[in-house]
Every structure is written in C-alpha cells, then in structure tokens.
Amino acid sequence: MNMKNLLTSRLAVAVAVAGVFQISCQRQPAHVMTAAAPAPTATATSGNGQGITSIDEVYKGVEFNMPRVQETSFPNYRVSITQYGAVADGITKNTQAFEQAINDVSAKGGGTVVIPRGLWLTGPIVLKSNINLHAEAGAMVIFSRDFNDYPVVETSFEGLNTFRCQSPISGRNLENIAITGSGTFDGNGDAWRPVKKSKMTAAQWKELTKTGVLNAKGDMWYPTENALKGDTQGSNFNVPDLKTRAEFEAVKDYLRPVLLSLINCKRVLLDGPTFQNSPAWNLHPLMCQDIILRNLNVRNPWYSQNGDGLDLESCKNALVYNNTFDVGDDAICFKSGKDKDGRERGVPTENVIVKNNVVYHGHGGFVVGSEMSSGVRNVHVSDCTFMGTDIGLRFKSTRGRGGVVENIWISNIDMINIPTQAISFNLFYGGNSPVLEEDQKASDEARVEKLVPVTEETPSFRNIWMRNITVSGADEAVALQGLPEMNLQNVTIENAYLKARKGISAVDASGITLKNVKVLAEKGPALTIYNSKNVNVQGLTYKDTQEPVVKVLGPLTQNVKLANKDFKNTQTQISKGKDLGKTAVSVQ
C-alpha cells in the first residue's frame, strides 16, 4: 500500500461517523479497589434481569473509593398547588400558584409541593432549598410557549460562560432538593428548536412552515425572525459570539434553555418523573454534589437539535441508575466545561456510578465530552444495553480543550444495531453528529497528521477498562483514535464479542490491551494498528476466512505483541506495512 492510500484508509479509520438509537444498564458484584489499581479480572452479573431495588446495591462492584452520596430528607409538611388557585385545564397559566406553594413550604422549613393529576400550564418553576416537588401519577406540567415568560439569565451552556433564557425548572445554590413522583414535565421544546428540512417528511415540513421563518437556503426552520438572527456564523455551536446582555437580549428567541438547570446545588434527588420535549438539553446538573438520578424516563424527539438526555457537568458524587433514555442527541453525557472557560472553572466530574439504564435513541449511549476541560475521573458504568444508538460508548474531545479523562471502568454492556462505532474514541471531534446529515462532510472531522506542541490545551484520555462487552451489529466494532502529540493511553478491552461490518482500529494509541476479544468483521482485518505503541493482544478470535487478520502500519508503531497461538499462519494473517521498524511487531 502506498502512502497516499495508507493515509486515505487511515483517515477513514480516524473519522467519527456514528448514528441514532438506544442503551440499557444493569448491575455487578462487589470488588472495591483504589482508583490506581488495575482492573479486576473477575466477572459477574446480577442475572435476575431486575432493576436495582436498594441504594446499597448501587455501590457493589465499584473499583474506586466511592464516597457515600448524601441523601435528601424532608419534613412531613405538604401543600398542593391547588391550594393556591392552580387550575388543571392546560390553558390557565399557573406560574404564580407554583411560586406561592414553593414559598409556603420553604417558609415552614421545607416539605413537599404536590402536583395532582391534571394538565398544568405554567411559566418557569424556581426551586428552593428543602423542597420536594412531587408530581403525582397523571400529572403533566406543560411549560409555556410564550418566550416572554423566560428572561435572559447569566449561566453556562455548551461548557461556556454565556447568557441563555431562564430554564423551565431551575435552582441555584440550593441544598436538599428533589423532584419525585410519576408525573411528566414537558418543556414544549418544539416551540424553541430550529428544525432541519432533511429531518422532516414533505408533509411534516409543509405543516411546520405554516409558522416561523426559514433561513436563506430554505432548509432550516426557526420559530421567529429573532431566533434566526441569533444563528450567526460566528456562533460557537449554539452559543452566539456576543459580549453584552443587550446583544443577547436582541436574539433572545435563539437562546433555548435546558429543561432542568441545577447550579451549585447539594443533595439532589430526581426520582420517578418523565422529563421530555426540552428546548435544548433535558437535564443539566452543573457543579452539583451528592446527586441521585433514578427511575427517570427522559425523552426528546429524535430530530431535536441538541436534545441531550443528561449532561452531568463538573459534578461530584453522583448515582445514575434505573433510567430510560430516548433522545435526539447524546443520552448519558459527562462534561466539565469547554476550553478556557472550563479550565478556569477547574471543577472535574468525578465519583459517578452509572447502572441499569436503557437508551432507545441517541447520538451516544454513554458519552464523555467533548466539553471536558476540567477533567472526568473515577467513573463506573455497568450493565447497560444500547439499542441503535449512533455510537454505544463514546469518548470525544479535540485540541484546545485540555483536561484529563481517567480511571473509567465499564463492564457488562450489550449493544445491538449500532449505525457507526460501537466503541469510539475521537480526539478530533468537530461537532458533527455521528451519522452525517445532508449539510455535513466527513472531511470536517478529519484528523490532522501534523504534531503540535503539548500544552494545557491538549486533552488527555487514559486508564480506561472495558470488559464483558457484547456487540451484535455495528458498522465498526471499535475506533481508538488519539492525538499524534498525546496518544490515547492505557485502554483495556477484555472478554468482548464484537460483530460488525469493520473490526477494531487503533490510531495514535499507547498501552492498548485486547484480551479474549472475538471480532466478527464482515470486511477488512479484525484489527488495524497505525502509529501506536505498547499494544498487547491475547486471545484474539475471528472469522477463519479473514486474511489478513491483523494489519500493522505506521513509522511510529512500536512494541506490538501478538500471541502466536491466535494464528494458524502468521505469514499470511499478519500484514506489516513497509514503513514499520524491524522490531515493531513480535509474535510470541
């Protein structure tokens, strides 16, 4: 293969191109170790197919010293919003009734605000400390479509310090708060979100465009002229490049809020409700501590722009279990700020357990990044199923972010019908969705071969263990793509069954271990290694007809160790590039 073809094929390896569907998580046995310890080799699952029934169960099998999350507790005092004149007709705006009920309970030292069965239209709800907002079965809280109900506030979005419209539900600097019950909170996001023509049928597009305005090309709908004005070329994704509050006020309709915004809160419980149809992200805890999110149903239309499920950002000590996600962007996503704003914040997301969650649609099932500039560390993810998510396990960043992602343990994950990579590390993330749309190009996310200096802006991903991974259908099994100047470091995949159109690729990676991995690739080699070092492969199995099975390329590749017993004929099954050093590959 000549260098031009080599680079072309390598680019294909290195480009993230992934899709949309679901995920589910479960449980794992006791094995506590410090964060610096190696991954355990023992395997076990709950085996009963049931959800986690006690909080003690959540802590079992965690590989690092996880502090016990401090739980909420509330006095017995209860009031109903109907005591303050709330009307359940879906027409009467009940903003004042919610506010008065919350103020009443707060003045009594805390307790529960009850939302009975019915349709409750309201403007923003602002929580206070020691409040449990309880939505009973059959209760649906519908947030107003009137943009005037949502003033511009100073906040953080997409990891940047900025202004946005006030969230439908919000709380700042609070302690001991909860949203519980089996009711529903609907953010009326369709009133806010721009919509691409390519995501609509002809009939849907015709109906949608009876209101709102279109961009100059006629392929994007906006709810108002004000919203269209905010979508400028200088925007950083969804954050306009503006300076003053007045400038943001001028494009207010574009500043879609997250449905639930909790900032700098302690002892938080979300247990039971459905959160759906958010203007932007659905759930956004930011710089919070001691958080429990369980038994939630988090939903957004598949076409929703930035319709993330959960974005846990710069949070400490959190439990995420027994939840279902069906969303329009990343489902369970960990972040910690973006670029300079994130690095100056300096608050990582750390000490988090994710178990027994299901994702039915999303760009990624479990995701870290791309805004991870303060770091992410000490994370346990187990017993999850991703069904049709664009990508299953997704790690993304890019030059300029900085930050360290480390000590991530992932186990007992099942995936099916993944349109792109089942497991993806992309440190050249350009912001596109995994499945490219009509207005996107793969070249926008192409890696840059040139080395750049390592600085505080260089992201680093290291010490990540994955075991007991089952993939039944994906376009690509695994894509491990680091940076030339900062390789992806110390990733272990053990006990995996990977059925995909393409196999495993490792580009600019160091310390990669594959142990007892079965790769059933329809096309190409089971494993491709490029410019990577310290790669150890044992117990690799594959289709008997595959030749070559392993392809090793790149002048920077060093110390690749393959097990002789894994091959019938090493001469034909192991392909070595002409640019390899003589001792780059050893078969033992």
pLDDT above 70: percentage of residues in the chain: 87
Query: What is the C-alpha separation between 371 and 353, in angstroms, rounded?
Result: 20
pTM beyond 0.95, yes or no: no
Instruction: Sort strands 289-294 and 574-576 into parallel, antiparallel or unpaired.
Output: unpaired
Residue 448: what pLDDT?
A: 57
Q: Is the pLDDT of residue 188 over 90?
A: yes
* Least confident among 266-270, 371-375, 432-436: 432-436
Residue 442: what pLDDT?
A: 52
pLDDT band at 194 (very low <50, low <70, confident <90, very high): very high
Residue range 542-551: average pLDDT? 89
Tell me the pLDDT tens digit for each residue of 370-387: 999 999 999 999 999 999
For residue 443, is the peptide bond before it cis, meaning its omega torsion is within 30 degrees of 0? no
**Which of the two residues, 343 and 2, has the higher pLDDT score?**
343
Q: What mean pLDDT value characterizes the chain?
A: 88
Tell me the pLDDT tens digit for each residue of 235-259: 556 788 888 999 999 999 999 999 9
- CA 525 vs CA 18, 224, 479, 573: distances in Å: 20, 51, 13, 9
Cβ-contact 359, 365 below 8 angstroms? yes
Q: Is the pLDDT of residue 27 over 50?
A: no
For residue 548, is the peptide bond before it cis, meaning its omega torsion is within 30 degrees of 0? yes
Residue range 448-459: average pLDDT? 84
Residue 443: what pLDDT?
A: 54
Residue 36: what pLDDT?
A: 31
Residue 241: what pLDDT?
A: 83
Query: What is the C-alpha separation between 521 and 505, in angstroms, rounded?
Result: 12
- H/E stretch holding 528 reads strand 527-530
Q: Is the pLDDT of residue 4 over 50?
A: no
Residue range 349-362: average pLDDT? 96
**Contacts of residue 362, Cβ cutoff 8 Å, sequence gap at least 6:** 20, 21, 22, 23, 309, 325, 326, 327, 328, 329, 330, 331, 389, 390
